[in-house]
Structure 1
Amino acid sequence: MHNDRTITEARLKRVLDERVRPAVYPVSVPLEVSVWDAPGEPVPVAEGLAAPRRPVEPGAPWGPPWGTSWFTVAGTVPREWAGRTVEALLDLGFDENMPGFQCEGLVYRPDASPVKGLNPRNQWVRIAESASGGEQVLLHVEASSNPVILDYHPFVPTELGDRETADAAPRYRLGRMDLAVFDRPVWELVQDLEVLGELMAELPEDSPRRWEILRAVERALDAVDLQDVGRTAERARRELAGVLSAPAHASAHRLSAVGHAHIDSAWLWPLRETVRKVARTTSNMTALLEDEPEFVYAMSQAQQFAWIKEHRPEVYARVKKAVAEGRFVPVGGMWVESDTNMPGSEALARQFVHGKRFFLEEFGIETEEVWLPDSFGYSVALPQLVRLSGSKWFLTQKISWSRTNKFPHHTFWWEGLDGTRVFTHFPPIDTYNSQLSGREVAHAVRNFQEKGGATRSLAPTGWGDGGGGTTREMLARARRLADLEGSARVGFEKPSAFFEKAQAEYGHAPVWAGELYLELHRATLTSQARTKRGNRRSEHLLREAELWAATAAVRTGFPYPYEALDRLWKTVLLHQFHDILPGTSIAWVHREAAQTYARVAAELEEIVGGATAALAGDGTGGGTVVFNAAPHGRGGAAAHGAVVARPAAEHSGQVVARPREGGGFTLGNAWLRVEVDGRGLVVSVYDLEADRETLAPGAAANLLQLHPDFPNMWDAWDVDHFYRNTVTDLTDVETLELTDGGVVRVVRAFGASRVEQRISLPSNMRRLDLETEVDWHETEKFLKAAFPLDLHTDRVAAETQFGHLYRPTHTNTSWDAAKFEACAHRFVHLEEPGWGVAVVNDSTYGYDVTRSVREGGPGTTTTVRLSLLRAPRFPDPRTDQGTHRFRYALVPNASVGDAVREGYRINLPERRVPGDTGVRPLVEVAGENGEAVVVSAVKLADDGSGDVVVRLYESLGGRARARLEAGFAVAAASGCDLLERPGSAVAVEDGRILLALRPFEIVTLRLSRA
C-alpha cells in the first residue's frame, strides 16, 4: 500500500504540473506591447499614461533597479473565442517563488481607472466573462523594477539597497504578454486535486480517509484525457465529488481565514515604493471582493490608508466603498505596525491616537483589535494602552519565531505592567502569509495548544511582506475546506467576529503576565544607531514643543501649532515602523530617515524657540529664564510634573579636578569622588554620603568592549549568545588630559576607528557624566560600554513605556537565559536594600547584565553593559559607518525615582532663554507621593477647543496619592481616554485635582479653561 501511495503522489504531481495546469489556458494570442521608461522617480499616473511608447517584445530586458516602466498592451479578442472567458496574461518577468520581493505592476484602463495589481502569483486580468469576439483590448501597466534584495540567500551584502549606489543594469526580462482563453472547469479541477493531494499528504498513513482520497484521485487521473484535458475535466471532477462532499467531524477545529497582505511600510524597499505596493494590493483586493461574495479582507496601518488617499485617490475611492460595505476591514488601530520595544511612552500612546482617529474620521469605525503580526517582541505596557485606546483584543504571530522556548499558549489573557488584561490570540498556523495549504491547515490543528478548551483559531491569508494579498486560488481552497472530512473547517470572517466567538467560548483562558519577549532579533535594539538617536531626540522635542506651546498659548495667546504637531507626530510614528526604528531596512530607508529626523528637529526647535521666547518676554533687562521639561525633585520633595521654568541661578557646589598619583585624574564634588586611571578608565566612583564604593574591586567602568558579531542568520536582526565568547577590552590610550573645564578627555584608536570620551562631574548632582564620540569604521563588530558594579541583586529594573519592568540577572531557567540582550529606555537600575545604582542614557536601547562571584573572596560583581554600535552588512552594507555621539551617566546611591528623574534629565537638558521673569508651570504635581507621579504630556486638546490635556502615570510601581495643580483657571475637568474623548467628571477645587493612582496606572485628564 505504501508503494501505491508514493506512485499516486508522484503521478498526481506530474499530471498537474505538465498537463492540467497548462490546460487552464488552452489557447492564446500575443498582445502588442510598447513601453516608456520613466527617467527618474515615479511620475503621476496621467503623465505615465500620456508618455510616448516604443515597441518591445517578450524576452526583452527592462527595468534598472528602482526604475519605473509604463507598458501598454493592445490586442483583439479572436472571433472564434465568442462565449468563452478571456483573460490577459501579463508576465513582467516574475519569479513565482518570490511574491512581494521583486517587480510588480498596477494595471490601468485608458481612462486612468485602476484595474488590479500584478505580482508573481497574480498575473491575470479578466477581459470578458463571456466574450463576444472582436473586443478591443487596451491596458496600461505601471511596472516597478524593484531589485531582489533578499534573493535565495538573505545575507549577501548588496549595493542595490539604495538608488544612489545601485547599478543601472536591467533586472528583468519581459515574459508572456498574451490574451488567453480561461478554462474554468480545468481551473476548478486543479483546485480539487491540489486540496485533496495536500490533505492526503497530511493524514496518517493508516487513516481510512487517506486511502479513500487516494483511490478517488487515481480514478480522476484515469478519467482525464491528457491529450484533451478541457473536454474531460468535468468527468474527472465527478470522480472527486464524493470525497469532496464528505463533511468534517463534529469536533473539527474551526479556522477563521482573514484576507490579508502584510505590507511592510519600508523594508527591502523605500517608503515611496510602499505607497505603490499598497495601491497595487488594494486594487487587487477590491477587485477580488467584487468577484467573491464570501471574501473578507483586513488591512492595518492607518498610514497606508492615508498614503493611497493622498497619492492614489482613484484607488482609495474603491477602498472606501468596500469599507462601507463591511468586507474591507480596517484593523490594528495604530498609525503603523510599529516596533513596540523602543518607542517612548507618548509615542506608543500616539500610535493608537492617530491610528484610531484616522479610522474613526475616515470610516466611522472604532477598531477593536490590535493587529501586530510581525513586530519583534511586545512591550509589557501594551495591554493598558490597548484598553485606554478603546480596543480590547490583541493579535500577533511573531512569538512563534522564538528559538529557545515555545510559548505555551495560542489563546490567552495577556496581563500588562499595571494589571490590565487583554484577550490575545497567536494564530497557530504560524504565519501571517498563509496560503491555506494542506500543510498549513494541518499544522494549525496539530499546533493549537488550547485543545479541549477552545476550538477555533485565525489564519491571516494572503501573500505579504511586500504585499500582494489573497488570491482566487486561496479562496477556492477555503470553499473546499469549509466542511471537509479530515480537515479543519475553514471560512472567511472578520477578525472581530473571530475574537467575539473565541472570547465567548474561552473567556476562562490562561493568563500570561509580563512582556512578550521575542527570543530572536535581539540586535534590532542596536542596529542603525542614527535612526534610534533620531527617534529618541524627536520624541523629546515633541514633548517640549507641546509643553511650551501649550503654556505659551494659555499664558500669552501664542498660536498653538495644531497642524504642524499633528504632521510631525505622524512622521515620527511612521519611522517607528518595525523595520525602520529596529534598523533592519535597506540603506535608502535609513539615509532618508536621517534627513527626515534633521528636518523634524529643526521644525520642532523653531516651535520651542517661539513658545519659550513668548513666555520669557523681550529680555531687555539682561536676565535669563531656564526652561526645564524634565521631572525634578528627590525623595519626599515635591515633583513638578515635568514642567518648570524659572529665572536662571548660578549652580551651587564645587567640582575638584586634579592629577592622580600613579597617572590619571581625580574628580570630586560634594557627593562623589571619581578616580580615572592612566588608561583613561574609571576605577573608582566613591559615594561619600553612603561611604561605599560603587565599582567592583579591581574593575574598571566606562570600559569599551568590542566583540565579533556574525550571527547565524539575519545580520541586522540577530545577535547570538556566542558573541560573548570573544571580547577585546579597549584600553590603549592615545590622549589622556584634564581640560580647563575640569573634564577628563580620553582618545583611543582601535581597528579602523577612533573614540573620544569626556568624563565629568556636574557640580550639583550625584552623577558621573560620560560623553562618547565614535568615528566608527568596523564591520561585523559589536561595541559595548561596561559598568562592573559592587552589587548583589537578582534583578534589574529596565525602563519601559509608562514605568519599568524587572528582569532577572541570573540564568536559572531557559526563559531567563534567553534574555541575554534586552530593551531599556532611559535607564536601568539595580539595587541592594537601601542602596542602588542607575545607568542612564540619551539614545541607546539594548543592554545586558551579567553576574559573577569574585575569585579569592566573597562578593558579587554585577556588570551592566550598554550596547552602542553594530556593523552588520545586510541589508545595508554600510550600516552605521561614520560618527556617532552618545551621552550616558552613572548615578550611585539612586532609587528608582532618581533613575526616572535622571533618565529624563539626560534627554531633556535645560534651555536658557533671554528673559526677566520666571514662568509658572502650567501644571504641577505635589503631595504625599507626588514624586512617584510623572507627567508624560501637557498639550492642548487635538480638537482645537483650547482645553488642556495632561497625561501622567505612577512611575515607581506602588500606590500614589498626589494632587495636580493647574496654573490657570479651570472651569471643569474630566478623565478621558487616549483619544481625548471625555469620560467621567473629575472634582476640581481651586485648580487642584486629587489623584489616587494604582501601580503604573496611566491617567489622562482634560481641563476646560475658565
Structure 2
Amino acid sequence: MFDDSTLVEDRIERLHERLGKELFRVLAPVDVTAWKSPGEPVDFATAAEANYDPISSGDRWGPAWSTWWFRMKGTVPAEARGERVHLRVDLGFEGDWAGNQSEGLAYTTAGTPLKGVNPMNRLIPLTGEGLPATIAKAGEQLLDDSGAVELLIEAGANPNMGDYMNNPTDLGDLSTRPDTPVWTFGGADLVVRNESVWHLWLDVEVLWGVLKEQPKDSTLRATLLRRLEEAADVVDAQGIQEGADAARAHLAPVIASSAGNSAQIMSAVGHAHIDSAWLWPLRETRRKVARTFSNVLALASDYPEFTFACTSAQHYAWLKDGAPALFARVKESIAKGQWHPAGGMWVESDTNLPGGEALVRQFTVGLNWMERELGVAPTCTWLPDSFGYTGALPQIARLSGMTTFFTQKLNWSQTNTLPHHTFWWEGIDGTRIFTHFPPVDCYDSIVSAEEVFKAERNFKEKGRAKRSLLPYGYGDGGGGPVAEMVERARRFADMEGAPRVEFDSPDGFFDKAREEYPDAPVWSGEMYLEFHRGVYTSSAELKRGNREVEAKLAVLEWLGALATERGIDYPLAEVEELWQRALLLQFHDILPGSSIHWVNREARAEYEALRTDIETLIDSLLASRAGGGTGSVEALDGDSGQAAALAGSEVTVVNPSPVTRREVWEHSDGCSLIEVAPLSSAPLSALEVSPTNPVTCETRGSDIVLANGLVEVVIDANGLVSSILDLDAGGRELLAAGQRGNALSVHPDFPSCFDAWELQHQYKRSETVLEEALEVKVVTKTALRACVEVRRTHGDSTFTQRITLDADARAVDFEVHVDWREKHRVLRVGFPLALNARTDRSEIQFGHIDRAIAKNTSWQEAQFEVSGHRWALLEEPGYAVAFANSQTYGHDVRVLDAAAADRRGGVAFGYTLLRSATAPDPEVDLGEHTLRYSLVCGADLAHAHAAGLRLTQPLRETAHALETSAVASIEHREGDTLALIDAVKPADDGSGDLIVRLHEAEGRAGIAHVRFASAPSKVRATNLREKEAPEVAPGLTACSEDPSLYEVSMHEFQIVTLRVARA
C-alpha cells in the first residue's frame, strides 16, 4: 500500500476548517442601538436612561478610550427556546488578544452584570443551564414569555496599544488621542451552537495536534491518522450536521486510551493575568476585572470540575466596590472550591524596587483584606510576570504565611536558563520556599497540543518528578479561560502518547509536587531576569515618588506609635488606605515605568497626593502630641519638666531614622551642625555641636579644592572631580590615575525591543562625556559647608551639578538638576576608582547582595546592569568606598579598562540616572529632575546604611515644640551584630500594642539589644502579620538587670517582628 499520509493530513486540516464554519446556526438578527457616554464611564442607571441611536454593522465607533453603551433587542423563535441560545456580539474585534482592544460587559435591563465580551469570548448564553439558570435563581429571566430579550452592553473603545510597545503613539492618553473612531461595529445576532459539531471540531483539533507531535514513523501517529481519516469519511458521506456524532464515535476510543504510568501529569489551573495598569489606565482595569470575573463565573457554572486562581486583593476590592453582585458570586464560587484566591499580595508588584517594609505590606495588607473579605488567606505566592525576584522574597513570603512560589518570567532571560522547573528557592537569609516554573513557559496557555507537548519536552525534572503546572486563560488585559480550553483539558485527561492533564488548584498542585519531590534541588539568592534592565531607571519621577512615600509612611507610623503610647487616637483605617494607594503604584508595570502616558501621568499625580495626605496626618499627630499647636508643648517621653522648659522655644529637629545623625542641617534659621539620636526629636539648641573638622574652600591654580581634614576634593576647571583624597587613610587617592569622577555621560539607547523596558549592552559602546562646563563657581563657603556649582548643556538639555563637602563629613555629596529633553538617550554618572574590589555589595530589602564585578561567566556578564536600593559598598581588604543615592536603582560596577587603570587595576562605579524611551509613553522622563548621590570614603556597612538613610529619610523641622526619645532603639554593644529597625508602628488590630520590626544587616548570626522607652509588660516575636509564630521566632530574652532591654538572637539577614504590650 502506498504512503498517502501527506494527502490524509491535508484532508484533516481541511476537515477542521469545514467544521469551524458550521459551529453556529443563526436564528434571528438583533436590533442594536448605541449611546456614547460624553466623558468618563457612567453607572448603569445613567446609561439606561440615555437616548440611543441606531447602529449597524460597518458603522465606526470611538474615539480611543471612549465608552459606548449598546442596547440589543431580539426575539428567540419558539421552536428554538428548548435549545441553548446565545447572543453573539462583535464589537469590531480584531486578532486574538482578548484584553487589548474593544471589550464590553453585558447587563440585564435590571442592571445585573452578566458576562464580558471580547474577541475570544463573544457569546452570552440566554437559555439553558449555567449562567441563565444562575440569573433565574436570583429572580430574573433573560427571556420573557414571548421569547424577547433585551440586554445592554457597556463597551470600552480601548485602542490596540500592543502595536506601540516599540513605536511612539498619541493614543496613550485622553489629552493626546485623535478624536476619530477606532473600531468598526461588527453586529450581533441570536445563534444556537451545534454542540455535536463543536465537540467534533475540538476532537479533531486535539487529535490532529497530538498527531503532529509524534514521530513520523510512530505507530501512534499512524493510528491517529487513520481514526481521523475514518471520521472524515463519515462527515463526507453523511454531512457535517448529520454525521458529527457518528464521526465522534470513531475518535472516542483514542481519546479514552490510557496515557500510561510514565506519563507526566499537568495540573491545569484556570488563570486570567490582569495587569493593574499597563497599556490601559487604572480606570479601565476596574472594568476589566468585572468583565473577566463575570466570564469566569459563567464558565464555572457550565463546568463543575473547572478551577480558577486569581491574585491581587486590589482587584477584588475594585469588584466589591463596583460590582457587588459579581463579588457575592465570587465568594460563592470560593465556598464551592472552584475559585481559588492566590498570591496574597495587594497587587502583583515589582519585587526589586519596593522597599522591604513595602514588600511586607504587599503581603500583610493583601492577606488581611482577603481573609477579612473573602474568608481565605492564600499560601501560594503567585507572581508570574514581575521583572526578576529579590533574594529577600523567600523570607518575606514565608513570614507572611506563604508556603510556595510560582512564576514563569525567568524563561524570558536572554542569556542563561535556570536549571530547574521545580526546586527550593533559598533567600539571602537561608529561608527556603518550594518553587515551580511551569515548563509551558507562559501564564496564558490555551491548552493546545503544541503547548502541552512543549511543556512535556521542556520539563527539567523528568525522571525525578512527573508533575508540572499548566496555567491557562487569556491574560495581560484579562479575558481568562474559555470553554474551548476546558474542553481541550478534558480530552487530555488520559490519552495515549500525551501527558495527563487534570484540573487542580495552586495548593493542590503544590501539595502533590512537594510530596513526590521533597528532595528537589536548591537555587540560592536572587532570581535575576536577564531582560528588561531598563525598568530600574525608566520613569524616574515614579522612582522618586516611591522612595519618598515609603519614607513618609515610616515617619507617620512611628509618630502613630508615639501617639498611641499616650492614648491619642491613631487613624488606622486612614493609614491602611494610604498604604493601599502606595502599594497599587508598585504594580509591576507602574513603578517600573513600562506603561502608557495616561498611567504615568496619574501615578505622578497620585504620588503628589500621597505626599500631601501623609504630611497632613503627620502634622496632625505632631500637633496632637504637642498639645494642639506651636508653643504648646508635651514631652513625648513623658517628662513634663522638659515640656515646660521647651515652651516657646525655637525650631524642633525630628530624626525619624533608626540611626544617630551627625550632619550639617539646613533649616529655617540657617545652617547648623547637629547630632540627634535615633527616632527622637529635640530643640535645635540642644543638638548643635561645634565642628571638629571645619571645611575650607580654596583655589589651587585653575582647580577648586574642598577639604575638611578628613577628605579633600579637587574640582578642575571643567567642573569634573580630578581627585578625592581620604586624609584619614594617609591621603589615599580614590580616583584611578588620570581619571575624572562625577562625569556625566550620554549614550544612545535604542533597544531592539520593548523600548521602556530594555537597556541593552550595546549602549556602552558609544558615549558622550559632558566635559565642557558653561560655568564653575563656588556657591557656599562657610566653616560648615562648601559647595561648588557647575552648569553644562547637551543638545536641548541643561545640567546643574553641585558638589558639596560638609564639616566632619566623610561623604562627598553630589546633586544634579537636569532639564532632560533627549529622546532615546541614557544619562549616567561614573566614578573610576583606584580600588581592587571584587564584589558589588548592594542593599536590597532587609539585607544586601554580593555580585561579582569581574565578568568571568555568562551569568556574570549578563548582569551588566543591576538594581540596588539606597547604597552600594565596594571593598578591598582593609578599605571600602560606599555610594548612596536618593532615588536611583539601576547601576553597574565593572573592572576598569586596561587603558584607564594603573598596574593594580581598579573598578568603575556608575549610576544610571535617566532614560528617554518613546514607547509606550512618548514623553516619559522629559522635564526636570533632581537626583542626589554621595561617595563615602573609608566606609563600612554601618556607614553605608547611614548614608542611604541621610539621603532618603531627611531630618525634619517642625514648629511644634516637642522632645521625644525613641520608643524602641538598637543599643549596640561590643560583639553585637549590626541590626537596624525598619518599622515602629501601632499594631494592625487596634489593640494599642507596639510593633517593632528589625533585621540583621551584617549577614552574620549574632546578638542585637533592643531598648524600649519603658519596661514592657510583654514582648512576643510574631510573623509579619503580627501573629505569634514560634517556629520562626528568634531567641528573645529580657535582661534581668534592666527590664527595658531585650536581647535578640538573630541569624543572618533575619527579619524579626516584636509585638510589645505596654505596661
TM class by shorter chain equals: over 0.9
State the partner residue of 1:685. Answer: 724
Deviations 1:146-186 (A, max 9, x none): 001113x7412111011111012111111130001211001
Q: Which segments of 5 or more consecutive residues in structure 1 lack a partner in the other structure?
A: none
CA contact (8 A) 1:973 1:987 kept: no
Aligned with 1:1002 (options 1055, 1059, 1062): 1055
Greater mean deviation of Cα atoms: 44-53 or 687-696 = 44-53
Distance (whole Å) between structure 2 residues aligned to residue 398 and residue 288 of structure 1: 27
SS of alignment partner, residue 174 of structure 2: coil
State the partner residue of 1:334. Answer: 345
State the partner residue of 2:7. Answer: 7
Deviations 1:886-929 (A, max 9, x none): 11100010002210111111111111224666311111111325
CA contact (8 A) 1:947 1:1008 kept: yes
CA contact (8 A) 1:652 1:764 kept: no
Aligned with 1:865 (options 897, 910, 913): 910
Aligned with 1:900 (options 937, 941, 945): 945
Deviations 1:574-626 (A, max 9, x none): 01000001100100001000100001001112222233344566444333322
State the partner residue of 1:148. Answer: 160
CA contact (8 A) 1:662 1:678 kept: no
Deviations 1:459-503 (A, max 9, x none): 111000000000000011011100001111001111101000000
Amino acid at match of 1:645: S
SS of alignment partner, residue 318 of structure 1: helix
Greater mean deviation of Cα atoms: 812-821 or 7-16 = 7-16
Say whether residues 1:945 and 2:991 are aligned partners.
Answer: yes
State the partner residue of 2:53. Answer: 54
CA contact (8 A) 2:659 2:946 kept: yes
CA contact (8 A) 1:631 1:901 kept: no
State the partner residue of 2:690. Answer: 652
Q: Which segments of 5 or more consecutive residues in structure 2 lack a partner in the other structure?
A: 130-142, 632-646, 663-674
Greater mean deviation of Cα atoms: 396-405 or 218-227 = 218-227
Greater mean deviation of Cα atoms: 23-32 or 412-421 = 23-32
Distance (whole Å) between structure 2 residues aligned to residue 226 and residue 337 of structure 1: 54
CA contact (8 A) 2:702 2:716 kept: yes
Amino acid at match of 2:893: V
State the partner residue of 2:69. Answer: 70
Amino acid at match of 2:656: A
Alignment of 1:744-763 (within 5 A): 744-763=788-807
CA contact (8 A) 1:640 1:926 kept: no
State the partner residue of 2:611. Answer: 601
SS of alignment partner, residue 743 of structure 1: strand
Indicate how the Cα distance of structure 1 residues 609 and 669 shifts in structure 2: closer, same or farther if over 3 A, else same: farther
Aligned with 2:778 (options 726, 729, 738): 738
CA contact (8 A) 1:107 1:118 kept: yes
Aligned with 1:959 (options 984, 999, 1005): 1005
1:132 CA displacement: 11
State the partner residue of 1:81. Answer: 80
Distance (whole Å) between structure 1 residues aligned to residue 700 and residue 51 of structure 2: 81
Say whether residues 1:776 and 2:816 are aligned partners.
Answer: no
Deviations 1:332-365 (A, max 9, x none): 0111000000000100111010111111111221
SS of alignment partner, residue 938 of structure 1: strand
Alignment of 1:356-395 (within 5 A): 356-395=367-406
State the partner residue of 2:853. Answer: 809
Aligned with 1:229 (options 240, 253, 258): 240
Distance (whole Å) between structure 2 residues aligned to residue 885 and residue 609 of structure 1: 26
Indicate how the Cα distance of structure 1 residues 1004 and 812 shifts in structure 2: closer, same or farther if over 3 A, else same: same
Distance (whole Å) between structure 2 residues aligned to residue 687 and residue 651 of structure 1: 23
State the partner residue of 1:220. Answer: 231
Aligned with 2:602 (options 592, 604, 614): 592
Aligned with 1:210 (options 218, 221, 224): 221
TM-score (normalizing by structure 2): 0.92
Distance (whole Å) between structure 1 residues aligned to residue 555 and residue 197 of structure 2: 65
| Aligned residues: CA RMSD | 1.9
Amino acid at match of 1:805: I
Distance (whole Å) between structure 1 residues aligned to residue 923 and residue 455 of structure 2: 40
Distance (whole Å) between structure 2 residues aligned to residue 778 and residue 592 of structure 1: 23
State the partner residue of 1:877. Answer: 922
Amino acid at match of 2:503: F
Indicate how the Cα distance of structure 1 residues 688 and 82 shifts in structure 2: closer, same or farther if over 3 A, else same: closer
Alignment of 1:411-450 (within 5 A): 411-450=422-461
1:110 CA displacement: 1.0
Amino acid at match of 2:122: Q
SS of alignment partner, residue 179 of structure 1: strand
State the partner residue of 1:165. Answer: 176
Distance (whole Å) between structure 2 residues aligned to residue 641 and residue 807 of structure 1: 33
Amino acid at match of 1:658: C
Indicate how the Cα distance of structure 1 residues 165 and 915 shifts in structure 2: closer, same or farther if over 3 A, else same: closer
Distance (whole Å) between structure 2 residues aligned to residue 815 and residue 994 of structure 1: 41
State the partner residue of 2:1014. Answer: 968
Distance (whole Å) between structure 2 residues aligned to residue 671 and residue 7 of structure 1: 86
1:814 CA displacement: 0.2
CA contact (8 A) 2:655 2:676 kept: no
CA contact (8 A) 1:616 1:625 kept: no
CA contact (8 A) 2:977 2:1000 kept: no
State the partner residue of 2:140. Answer: none
CA contact (8 A) 1:158 1:875 kept: yes
CA contact (8 A) 1:198 1:439 kept: yes
SS of alignment partner, residue 36 of structure 1: strand
Amino acid at match of 1:690: A
Greater mean deviation of Cα atoms: 373-382 or 166-175 = 166-175
Distance (whole Å) between structure 2 residues aligned to residue 900 and residue 105 of structure 1: 51
State the partner residue of 1:138. Answer: 150
Aligned with 1:298 (options 309, 315, 318): 309
CA contact (8 A) 2:822 2:926 kept: yes
SS of alignment partner, residue 550 of structure 1: helix
Indicate how the Cα distance of structure 1 residues 226 and 166 shifts in structure 2: closer, same or farther if over 3 A, else same: farther
Aligned with 1:610 (options 605, 615, 620): 620
Distance (whole Å) between structure 2 residues aligned to residue 201 and residue 133 of structure 1: 50
Say whether residues 1:993 and 2:1046 are aligned partners.
Answer: yes
Distance (whole Å) between structure 1 residues aligned to residue 165 and residue 963 of structure 2: 58
State the partner residue of 1:714. Answer: 754
1:230 CA displacement: 1.0
CA contact (8 A) 1:75 1:136 kept: yes
State the partner residue of 1:549. Answer: 560
Aligned with 1:643 (options 669, 672, 679): 679
Alignment of 1:124-523 (within 5 A): 124-129=123-128, 134-151=146-163, 154-225=165-236, 228-523=239-534
1:643 CA displacement: 1.5
Greater mean deviation of Cα atoms: 8-17 or 384-393 = 8-17
Greater mean deviation of Cα atoms: 559-568 or 719-728 = 559-568
SS of alignment partner, residue 700 of structure 2: coil
CA contact (8 A) 1:105 1:143 kept: yes
Distance (whole Å) between structure 2 residues aligned to residue 652 and residue 43 of structure 1: 64
Distance (whole Å) between structure 2 residues aligned to residue 859 and residue 803 of structure 1: 31
CA contact (8 A) 2:658 2:982 kept: no
Distance (whole Å) between structure 2 residues aligned to residue 198 and residue 430 of structure 1: 19
- The percent identity for this pair of structures is 44
| Moved >6 Å (runs of 4+) | 130-133
TM-score (normalizing by structure 1): 0.97
Distance (whole Å) between structure 1 residues aligned to residue 1038 and residue 337 of structure 2: 43
Deviations 1:922-947 (A, max 9, x none): 11111325571100000000111110
SS of alignment partner, residue 115 of structure 1: strand
Say whether residues 1:662 and 2:662 are aligned partners.
Answer: no
